[in-house]
Amino acid sequence: MKDKIPPPYTALQRHPMMPQASHDEASRFNFLTLFNRYLSGEIGRGNRVAYETRVLPAFKVIHGREPESREEIRVAMNQDPFHRMWSALKRNSMEMRQQNGRQIVLRQLDELDAKARAFNAASGLLELDPSVEQPVYATCVDIHCQPGGYHGGEREGDVTVGANYDVGLFATTGGALGSLNDGGGQAVVGWVKANRPDWQPKRILDVGCTVGHNAVPFAQGFPDAEVTAIDTAAASLRYGAARAAGLGVTNIRFVQASGEDLSRFPDNHFDWVQTTMFLHELSAESMPKILAECARVLKPGGLLLHVEQPQYGPDMPLYEQFIRDWDAYNNNEPFWSAMHGVDLKAVMAQAGFPLDHQFVTGVRAIPDKSLFPASPDGDEEDYGRAAIWNAYGAWKPNQDNGLTSGAKKEISA
Protein backbone atom coordinates (compact mmCIF):
# COMPACT_ATOMS: atom_id res chain seq x y z
CA MET A 1 0.00 0.00 0.00
CA LYS A 2 2.78 2.44 0.99
CA ASP A 3 4.32 2.34 -2.49
CA LYS A 4 0.96 3.32 -3.97
CA ILE A 5 0.91 6.63 -2.12
CA PRO A 6 2.14 9.53 -4.25
CA PRO A 7 4.77 11.89 -2.85
CA PRO A 8 3.54 15.07 -1.15
CA TYR A 9 3.10 18.24 -3.20
CA THR A 10 6.05 19.78 -1.31
CA ALA A 11 8.38 17.30 -3.09
CA LEU A 12 8.11 19.42 -6.25
CA GLN A 13 11.23 21.47 -6.99
CA ARG A 14 10.68 25.15 -6.25
CA HIS A 15 12.25 26.59 -9.41
CA PRO A 16 12.24 30.39 -9.47
CA MET A 17 9.09 30.77 -11.62
CA MET A 18 7.00 28.22 -9.74
CA PRO A 19 3.99 29.89 -8.07
CA GLN A 20 4.07 29.54 -4.29
CA ALA A 21 1.28 27.39 -2.86
CA SER A 22 0.11 28.12 0.68
CA HIS A 23 -0.33 25.31 3.19
CA ASP A 24 -4.03 24.95 2.35
CA GLU A 25 -3.48 25.13 -1.41
CA ALA A 26 -0.79 22.44 -1.22
CA SER A 27 -3.14 20.33 0.90
CA ARG A 28 -5.82 20.64 -1.76
CA PHE A 29 -3.35 19.40 -4.38
CA ASN A 30 -2.37 16.54 -2.06
CA PHE A 31 -6.03 15.59 -1.74
CA LEU A 32 -6.55 15.79 -5.53
CA THR A 33 -3.37 13.80 -6.26
CA LEU A 34 -4.54 10.97 -4.00
CA PHE A 35 -8.09 11.29 -5.27
CA ASN A 36 -6.94 10.96 -8.90
CA ARG A 37 -4.79 7.95 -8.08
CA TYR A 38 -7.68 6.34 -6.28
CA LEU A 39 -10.16 7.13 -9.05
CA SER A 40 -7.85 5.74 -11.73
CA GLY A 41 -6.89 2.68 -9.70
CA GLU A 42 -9.07 1.07 -7.00
CA ILE A 43 -12.33 2.86 -7.81
CA GLY A 44 -11.74 2.82 -11.57
CA ARG A 45 -11.66 -0.98 -11.51
CA GLY A 46 -15.35 -0.87 -10.58
CA ASN A 47 -16.07 0.22 -14.16
CA ARG A 48 -14.98 -3.16 -15.45
CA VAL A 49 -17.12 -4.91 -12.83
CA ALA A 50 -20.08 -2.78 -13.94
CA TYR A 51 -19.37 -3.63 -17.57
CA GLU A 52 -18.94 -7.35 -17.12
CA THR A 53 -21.73 -7.97 -14.61
CA ARG A 54 -24.43 -5.55 -15.75
CA VAL A 55 -23.79 -3.59 -18.92
CA LEU A 56 -22.47 -6.29 -21.25
CA PRO A 57 -25.11 -8.91 -20.30
CA ALA A 58 -27.88 -6.32 -20.80
CA PHE A 59 -26.37 -5.23 -24.14
CA LYS A 60 -26.34 -8.83 -25.35
CA VAL A 61 -29.98 -9.32 -24.37
CA ILE A 62 -31.03 -6.18 -26.25
CA HIS A 63 -28.85 -6.57 -29.37
CA GLY A 64 -28.26 -10.30 -29.50
CA ARG A 65 -24.50 -9.73 -29.98
CA GLU A 66 -21.35 -8.24 -28.38
CA PRO A 67 -20.62 -4.50 -28.80
CA GLU A 68 -18.78 -3.78 -32.03
CA SER A 69 -17.19 -0.44 -31.20
CA ARG A 70 -15.95 1.67 -28.28
CA GLU A 71 -18.83 4.07 -29.04
CA GLU A 72 -21.41 1.34 -28.45
CA ILE A 73 -19.78 0.52 -25.10
CA ARG A 74 -19.76 4.21 -24.13
CA VAL A 75 -23.45 4.68 -24.88
CA ALA A 76 -24.31 1.57 -22.85
CA MET A 77 -21.98 2.40 -19.94
CA ASN A 78 -23.38 5.93 -19.71
CA GLN A 79 -26.62 4.36 -18.45
CA ASP A 80 -24.85 2.59 -15.57
CA PRO A 81 -25.12 4.29 -12.13
CA PHE A 82 -21.61 3.32 -10.98
CA HIS A 83 -19.96 4.54 -14.17
CA ARG A 84 -21.94 7.78 -14.02
CA MET A 85 -20.82 8.38 -10.45
CA TRP A 86 -17.17 7.61 -11.31
CA SER A 87 -17.33 9.88 -14.35
CA ALA A 88 -18.82 12.74 -12.32
CA LEU A 89 -16.14 12.39 -9.64
CA LYS A 90 -13.39 12.35 -12.26
CA ARG A 91 -14.75 15.40 -14.06
CA ASN A 92 -15.02 17.19 -10.72
CA SER A 93 -11.45 16.33 -9.82
CA MET A 94 -10.34 17.97 -13.11
CA GLU A 95 -12.32 21.11 -12.37
CA MET A 96 -11.06 21.30 -8.77
CA ARG A 97 -7.46 20.93 -9.97
CA GLN A 98 -7.94 23.83 -12.38
CA GLN A 99 -9.66 26.00 -9.80
CA ASN A 100 -6.95 25.43 -7.21
CA GLY A 101 -4.14 26.15 -9.70
CA ARG A 102 -5.86 29.23 -11.04
CA GLN A 103 -6.51 30.68 -7.60
CA ILE A 104 -2.83 30.16 -6.63
CA VAL A 105 -1.66 31.92 -9.79
CA LEU A 106 -4.12 34.84 -9.72
CA ARG A 107 -3.21 35.60 -6.10
CA GLN A 108 0.42 36.29 -7.12
CA LEU A 109 0.01 37.23 -10.79
CA ASP A 110 1.66 40.67 -10.48
CA GLU A 111 4.77 39.10 -9.02
CA LEU A 112 4.83 36.20 -11.53
CA ASP A 113 4.39 38.52 -14.51
CA ALA A 114 7.16 40.81 -13.27
CA LYS A 115 9.51 37.88 -12.72
CA ALA A 116 8.75 36.44 -16.17
CA ARG A 117 9.36 39.81 -17.82
CA ALA A 118 12.70 40.18 -16.01
CA PHE A 119 13.88 36.65 -16.87
CA ASN A 120 12.79 36.96 -20.49
CA ALA A 121 14.35 40.38 -21.01
CA ALA A 122 17.66 39.22 -19.57
CA SER A 123 17.88 35.76 -21.12
CA GLY A 124 16.79 36.39 -24.72
CA LEU A 125 15.21 32.90 -24.73
CA LEU A 126 11.78 34.16 -25.83
CA GLU A 127 10.82 35.06 -29.40
CA LEU A 128 7.16 36.02 -29.84
CA ASP A 129 5.47 36.63 -33.18
CA PRO A 130 2.00 38.20 -32.81
CA SER A 131 1.24 37.43 -36.46
CA VAL A 132 1.01 33.69 -35.65
CA GLU A 133 -2.67 32.71 -35.72
CA GLN A 134 -4.13 30.66 -32.89
CA PRO A 135 -5.47 27.47 -34.50
CA VAL A 136 -9.25 27.20 -34.20
CA TYR A 137 -8.98 23.60 -33.03
CA ALA A 138 -6.89 24.83 -30.08
CA THR A 139 -9.17 27.73 -29.13
CA CYS A 140 -12.58 26.13 -29.68
CA VAL A 141 -12.72 24.67 -26.14
CA ASP A 142 -10.86 25.14 -22.87
CA ILE A 143 -8.73 22.08 -23.42
CA HIS A 144 -8.94 19.54 -20.58
CA CYS A 145 -10.98 22.04 -18.53
CA GLN A 146 -8.02 24.46 -18.42
CA PRO A 147 -9.49 27.98 -18.18
CA GLY A 148 -8.26 29.88 -21.25
CA GLY A 149 -6.68 26.73 -22.74
CA TYR A 150 -2.98 27.25 -23.51
CA HIS A 151 -3.36 30.60 -25.18
CA GLY A 152 -5.79 32.64 -23.04
CA GLY A 153 -4.95 35.05 -20.30
CA GLU A 154 -6.27 37.07 -17.43
CA ARG A 155 -4.80 40.21 -18.97
CA GLU A 156 -2.58 41.18 -21.88
CA GLY A 157 0.91 39.69 -21.80
CA ASP A 158 0.45 37.59 -18.65
CA VAL A 159 1.61 34.10 -17.67
CA THR A 160 -1.62 32.81 -16.07
CA VAL A 161 -2.20 29.71 -18.17
CA GLY A 162 1.44 28.60 -18.27
CA ALA A 163 1.81 29.04 -14.52
CA ASN A 164 -1.45 27.19 -13.84
CA TYR A 165 -0.36 24.32 -16.11
CA ASP A 166 2.93 23.98 -14.21
CA VAL A 167 1.62 24.37 -10.68
CA GLY A 168 -1.08 21.69 -11.00
CA LEU A 169 0.27 19.03 -13.36
CA PHE A 170 1.49 17.17 -10.29
CA ALA A 171 -2.10 16.58 -9.15
CA THR A 172 -3.31 15.42 -12.58
CA THR A 173 -0.46 12.95 -13.00
CA GLY A 174 -0.39 11.74 -9.40
CA GLY A 175 3.16 13.06 -9.03
CA ALA A 176 4.44 10.50 -11.51
CA LEU A 177 6.48 12.92 -13.64
CA GLY A 178 9.12 13.78 -11.06
CA SER A 179 10.07 16.91 -9.20
CA LEU A 180 10.07 19.16 -12.29
CA ASN A 181 7.23 17.39 -14.12
CA ASP A 182 9.85 16.50 -16.72
CA GLY A 183 10.14 12.72 -16.34
CA GLY A 184 8.87 12.16 -19.90
CA GLY A 185 11.56 14.34 -21.48
CA GLN A 186 14.23 12.71 -19.33
CA ALA A 187 13.01 9.28 -20.45
CA VAL A 188 13.25 10.31 -24.11
CA VAL A 189 16.83 11.56 -23.60
CA GLY A 190 17.63 8.19 -21.98
CA TRP A 191 16.05 6.36 -24.92
CA VAL A 192 18.04 8.34 -27.51
CA LYS A 193 21.32 7.83 -25.64
CA ALA A 194 20.67 4.09 -25.29
CA ASN A 195 19.72 3.66 -28.96
CA ARG A 196 22.28 5.96 -30.59
CA PRO A 197 25.09 6.22 -28.02
CA ASP A 198 27.42 8.16 -30.35
CA TRP A 199 24.80 10.45 -31.82
CA GLN A 200 25.23 14.12 -31.00
CA PRO A 201 22.22 16.01 -32.38
CA LYS A 202 23.12 19.64 -33.01
CA ARG A 203 19.67 21.10 -33.70
CA ILE A 204 16.54 19.84 -31.97
CA LEU A 205 12.99 21.06 -32.67
CA ASP A 206 10.21 20.49 -30.12
CA VAL A 207 6.78 21.16 -31.65
CA GLY A 208 3.94 22.10 -29.26
CA CYS A 209 6.28 22.61 -26.30
CA THR A 210 3.76 24.37 -23.96
CA VAL A 211 5.97 25.42 -20.98
CA GLY A 212 8.91 23.21 -21.99
CA HIS A 213 8.52 20.44 -19.40
CA ASN A 214 9.92 18.00 -21.92
CA ALA A 215 11.99 20.33 -24.14
CA VAL A 216 14.16 21.57 -21.27
CA PRO A 217 15.48 18.04 -20.50
CA PHE A 218 16.63 17.80 -24.16
CA ALA A 219 18.66 20.98 -23.72
CA GLN A 220 20.06 19.68 -20.42
CA GLY A 221 20.75 16.19 -21.80
CA PHE A 222 22.46 17.52 -24.95
CA PRO A 223 24.24 20.68 -23.78
CA ASP A 224 26.03 21.11 -27.13
CA ALA A 225 22.74 21.13 -29.03
CA GLU A 226 20.55 24.12 -29.77
CA VAL A 227 16.91 23.38 -28.87
CA THR A 228 14.10 25.31 -30.57
CA ALA A 229 10.82 24.88 -28.68
CA ILE A 230 7.81 26.15 -30.64
CA ASP A 231 4.19 26.68 -29.73
CA THR A 232 1.37 28.87 -31.03
CA ALA A 233 0.44 30.01 -27.49
CA ALA A 234 2.35 33.09 -26.35
CA ALA A 235 0.90 32.80 -22.84
CA SER A 236 2.50 29.37 -22.37
CA LEU A 237 5.78 30.38 -24.04
CA ARG A 238 6.25 33.46 -21.82
CA TYR A 239 6.11 31.25 -18.74
CA GLY A 240 8.15 28.44 -20.34
CA ALA A 241 11.04 30.69 -21.39
CA ALA A 242 11.17 32.29 -17.94
CA ARG A 243 11.01 28.85 -16.26
CA ALA A 244 13.94 27.62 -18.40
CA ALA A 245 15.97 30.76 -17.64
CA GLY A 246 15.22 30.31 -13.93
CA LEU A 247 16.57 26.76 -14.19
CA GLY A 248 19.78 28.13 -15.72
CA VAL A 249 19.25 26.61 -19.18
CA THR A 250 20.77 28.65 -22.00
CA ASN A 251 20.77 26.40 -25.11
CA ILE A 252 17.02 26.64 -25.75
CA ARG A 253 14.76 29.22 -27.40
CA PHE A 254 11.00 29.45 -27.05
CA VAL A 255 9.61 30.60 -30.38
CA GLN A 256 5.99 31.43 -31.24
CA ALA A 257 5.31 29.49 -34.43
CA SER A 258 2.85 26.98 -35.77
CA GLY A 259 3.88 23.47 -36.69
CA GLU A 260 1.66 23.88 -39.75
CA ASP A 261 4.01 26.52 -41.14
CA LEU A 262 7.69 26.04 -40.35
CA SER A 263 8.76 28.26 -43.25
CA ARG A 264 11.07 30.20 -40.94
CA PHE A 265 13.30 27.07 -41.00
CA PRO A 266 15.06 25.77 -44.13
CA ASP A 267 14.75 22.23 -45.47
CA ASN A 268 16.87 19.55 -43.75
CA HIS A 269 17.67 21.86 -40.83
CA PHE A 270 17.10 19.79 -37.66
CA ASP A 271 18.73 16.56 -36.52
CA TRP A 272 15.74 15.66 -34.38
CA VAL A 273 12.09 16.74 -34.35
CA GLN A 274 10.11 15.84 -31.22
CA THR A 275 6.49 16.07 -30.14
CA THR A 276 5.25 15.02 -26.70
CA MET A 277 1.57 14.42 -25.92
CA PHE A 278 0.83 16.78 -28.80
CA LEU A 279 -0.74 14.84 -31.67
CA HIS A 280 -3.97 14.05 -29.79
CA GLU A 281 -4.75 17.76 -29.53
CA LEU A 282 -4.61 18.32 -33.31
CA SER A 283 -7.49 18.34 -35.75
CA ALA A 284 -7.54 15.71 -38.50
CA GLU A 285 -6.77 18.47 -40.99
CA SER A 286 -3.77 19.92 -39.16
CA MET A 287 -1.94 16.70 -38.22
CA PRO A 288 -0.86 15.71 -41.77
CA LYS A 289 0.22 19.31 -42.50
CA ILE A 290 2.37 19.38 -39.35
CA LEU A 291 3.89 15.97 -40.07
CA ALA A 292 4.75 17.07 -43.61
CA GLU A 293 6.49 20.18 -42.25
CA CYS A 294 8.35 18.03 -39.70
CA ALA A 295 9.55 15.82 -42.58
CA ARG A 296 10.71 18.84 -44.59
CA VAL A 297 12.76 20.48 -41.83
CA LEU A 298 14.31 17.19 -40.66
CA LYS A 299 17.74 16.25 -42.01
CA PRO A 300 18.12 12.95 -43.89
CA GLY A 301 19.05 10.39 -41.25
CA GLY A 302 17.39 12.55 -38.57
CA LEU A 303 14.96 11.38 -35.90
CA LEU A 304 11.24 12.13 -35.66
CA LEU A 305 9.71 11.03 -32.34
CA HIS A 306 6.14 11.40 -31.09
CA VAL A 307 5.46 10.48 -27.47
CA GLU A 308 1.76 9.63 -27.12
CA GLN A 309 -0.76 7.37 -25.48
CA PRO A 310 -1.10 4.15 -27.50
CA GLN A 311 -3.12 4.18 -30.70
CA TYR A 312 -6.30 2.11 -30.75
CA GLY A 313 -5.97 -0.79 -33.10
CA PRO A 314 -7.48 -4.19 -33.74
CA ASP A 315 -5.27 -5.63 -30.97
CA MET A 316 -6.63 -3.31 -28.29
CA PRO A 317 -9.79 -4.66 -26.61
CA LEU A 318 -12.86 -2.47 -27.19
CA TYR A 319 -13.39 -2.02 -23.44
CA GLU A 320 -9.87 -0.58 -23.12
CA GLN A 321 -10.52 1.75 -26.07
CA PHE A 322 -13.72 2.90 -24.38
CA ILE A 323 -12.06 3.68 -21.04
CA ARG A 324 -9.10 5.41 -22.72
CA ASP A 325 -11.65 7.52 -24.60
CA TRP A 326 -13.08 9.02 -21.41
CA ASP A 327 -11.26 12.35 -21.82
CA ALA A 328 -12.68 12.88 -25.29
CA TYR A 329 -16.25 13.05 -23.99
CA ASN A 330 -15.79 14.30 -20.44
CA ASN A 331 -12.60 16.34 -20.28
CA ASN A 332 -12.65 18.68 -23.29
CA GLU A 333 -10.30 16.64 -25.47
CA PRO A 334 -12.23 16.94 -28.75
CA PHE A 335 -9.66 15.22 -31.00
CA TRP A 336 -8.51 12.48 -28.63
CA SER A 337 -10.82 9.73 -29.88
CA ALA A 338 -10.47 10.35 -33.61
CA MET A 339 -6.69 10.82 -33.43
CA HIS A 340 -6.14 7.61 -31.47
CA GLY A 341 -8.33 5.80 -33.97
CA VAL A 342 -6.28 6.71 -37.06
CA ASP A 343 -3.57 4.56 -38.57
CA LEU A 344 -0.72 6.80 -37.43
CA LYS A 345 1.88 4.77 -39.29
CA ALA A 346 0.01 5.37 -42.55
CA VAL A 347 -0.27 9.12 -41.81
CA MET A 348 3.48 9.26 -41.07
CA ALA A 349 4.21 7.30 -44.25
CA GLN A 350 2.19 9.80 -46.27
CA ALA A 351 4.18 12.62 -44.70
CA GLY A 352 7.43 11.11 -45.98
CA PHE A 353 8.50 8.48 -43.46
CA PRO A 354 8.34 5.08 -45.17
CA LEU A 355 6.93 2.23 -43.08
CA ASP A 356 10.25 0.39 -42.96
CA HIS A 357 11.85 3.46 -41.37
CA GLN A 358 9.24 3.69 -38.62
CA PHE A 359 9.23 2.07 -35.19
CA VAL A 360 7.13 2.00 -32.05
CA THR A 361 8.74 1.77 -28.65
CA GLY A 362 7.85 2.29 -24.98
CA VAL A 363 8.81 5.30 -22.88
CA ARG A 364 8.31 5.37 -19.13
CA ALA A 365 8.72 8.61 -17.16
CA ILE A 366 11.78 8.76 -14.95
CA PRO A 367 10.74 10.38 -11.67
CA ASP A 368 13.44 11.62 -9.33
CA LYS A 369 13.77 8.58 -7.05
CA SER A 370 15.53 10.50 -4.27
CA LEU A 371 12.69 12.99 -3.96
CA PHE A 372 9.94 10.59 -4.93
CA PRO A 373 10.77 7.42 -3.01
CA ALA A 374 7.13 6.39 -2.85
CA SER A 375 6.40 6.94 -6.52
CA PRO A 376 5.04 3.76 -8.11
CA ASP A 377 6.96 1.94 -10.83
CA GLY A 378 3.96 2.30 -13.07
CA ASP A 379 3.75 -1.40 -13.86
CA GLU A 380 0.04 -1.33 -13.26
CA GLU A 381 -1.80 -0.01 -16.30
CA ASP A 382 -4.45 2.52 -15.42
CA TYR A 383 -5.64 3.40 -18.90
CA GLY A 384 -4.06 6.68 -19.64
CA ARG A 385 -3.07 8.02 -16.23
CA ALA A 386 0.20 6.15 -15.73
CA ALA A 387 3.31 7.93 -16.97
CA ILE A 388 3.94 5.27 -19.60
CA TRP A 389 3.63 6.15 -23.27
CA ASN A 390 4.23 4.78 -26.70
CA ALA A 391 6.78 6.55 -28.83
CA TYR A 392 6.01 6.56 -32.54
CA GLY A 393 9.24 7.26 -34.35
CA ALA A 394 11.02 7.26 -37.66
CA TRP A 395 14.48 7.92 -39.01
CA LYS A 396 14.24 10.05 -42.12
CA PRO A 397 15.49 8.12 -45.14
CA ASN A 398 19.11 8.69 -45.99
CA GLN A 399 20.47 6.87 -49.03
CA ASP A 400 24.09 7.49 -48.04
CA ASN A 401 24.62 6.76 -44.38
CA GLY A 402 23.38 3.19 -43.93
CA LEU A 403 20.67 4.25 -41.51
CA THR A 404 17.94 2.93 -43.78
CA SER A 405 17.39 -0.06 -41.50
CA GLY A 406 17.96 1.95 -38.32
CA ALA A 407 14.37 1.41 -37.27
CA LYS A 408 14.80 -2.30 -36.70
CA LYS A 409 16.50 -2.52 -33.28
CA GLU A 410 15.08 -0.11 -30.74
CA ILE A 411 15.51 -0.43 -26.97
CA SER A 412 12.63 0.57 -24.69
CA ALA A 413 13.39 3.30 -22.18
Ligand X SMILES: C[S@@+](CC[C@H](N)C(=O)[O-])C[C@H]1O[C@@H](n2cnc3c(N)ncnc32)[C@H](O)[C@@H]1O
Q: Which residues bind ligand X (CB under 6 A)?
A: 135, 138, 150, 207-210, 213-214, 230-233, 236, 258-260, 276-278, 281, 286
Q: How is 208-231 classified by DSSP, letter by letter? A: S-TT-TTTHHHHHH-TTSEEEEEE
CB of 212 to ligand X, least distance (A): 7
Do 38 and 121 touch, CB atoms closer than 8 A? no
Nearest to 351 by CA among 293, 403, 310, 408: 293
Q: How far is CA 26 from CA 20, 21, 187, 266, 368, in A?
A: 9, 6, 27, 46, 20
State the nearest-atom distance from the C-beta of 142 to ligand X, in Å: 12
The answer to whether 100 and 168 have CB atoms below 8 angstroms apart is: yes
User: At CB < 8 A and 24+ separation, what contacts does 315-321 make?
Assistant: 318/67, 318/68, 318/69, 318/70, 318/73, 319/48, 319/51, 319/73, 320/383, 321/70, 321/73
Residue 332 backbone phi and psi in degrees, to 5: 50, 50
Run of H or E residues at 92: helix 81-107
Closest residue to ligand X, judged by C-beta, is 208
Complex with ligand X: residue 233 or 241, whichever CB lies closer: 233
How many whole angstroms separate alpha carbon 333 and alpha carbon 354?
A: 29
Comparison of 77 and 207: residue with beta carbon closer to ligand X = 207
Of the two residues 143 and 407, which places its CB atom closer to ligand X in the complex?
Answer: 143
Nearer to ligand X, 30 or 236 (CB): 236
Minimum CB distance to ligand X, residue 180 (Å): 11
> Would you say 186 or 210 has its CB closer to ligand X?
210
Do 94 and 32 contact (CB within 8 A), yes or no? no
Measure the CA–CA gap between 201 and 271, rounded to whole angstroms: 5
Nearer to ligand X, 47 or 164 (CB): 164
Render the burial of 371-387: b for 16+ CB within 10 Å, e for the rest: bbeebbebeeebbbbbb
CB of 328 to ligand X, least distance (A): 14
Q: CA dihedral defined by 283, 289, 291, 296, rounded to 10 degrees?
A: -160
Shortest reach from residue 229's CB to ligand X, in Å: 9
Which CB atom, from 104 or from 305, has the smaller least distance to ligand X?
A: 305
Least distance between ligand X and beta carbon 380 (Å): 24
Minimum CB–partner distance for residue 207 and ligand X (Å)? 6
Q: Nearest distance from residue 87's CB to ligand X, in Å?
A: 22
DSSP-H helix ranges across 145-249:
160-172, 183-195, 216-221, 234-246
Least spacing, CB of residue 392 vs ligand X, in Å: 14
Q: What is the DSSP string of 285-330?
A: THHHHHHHHHHHHEEEEEEEEEEESPPP-TTS-HHHHHHHTHHHHH
Between β-strands 358-364 and 203-207, what pairing exists: parallel, antiparallel or unpaired? unpaired
CB of 257 to ligand X, least distance (A): 7
| Closer residue to ligand X, CB minimum distance, 84 or 264 | 264
Least distance CB 159 / ligand X (angstroms): 13
Q: Which one, 38 or 137, has the nearer CB to ligand X? A: 137
Measured CA to CA, the distance from residue 288 to residue 344 in angstroms comes to 10
Rounded Cα distance between 96 and 332, Å, is: 15
Which of 44, 208 has the CB closer to ligand X?
208
Distance between CA 10 and CA 172 in Å, rounded? 15
| Residue number with CB closer to ligand X (77 or 249) | 249
Identity of the amino acid at 45: R
Q: Which of 225, 394, 391 is nearest to 304 (CA)?
A: 394
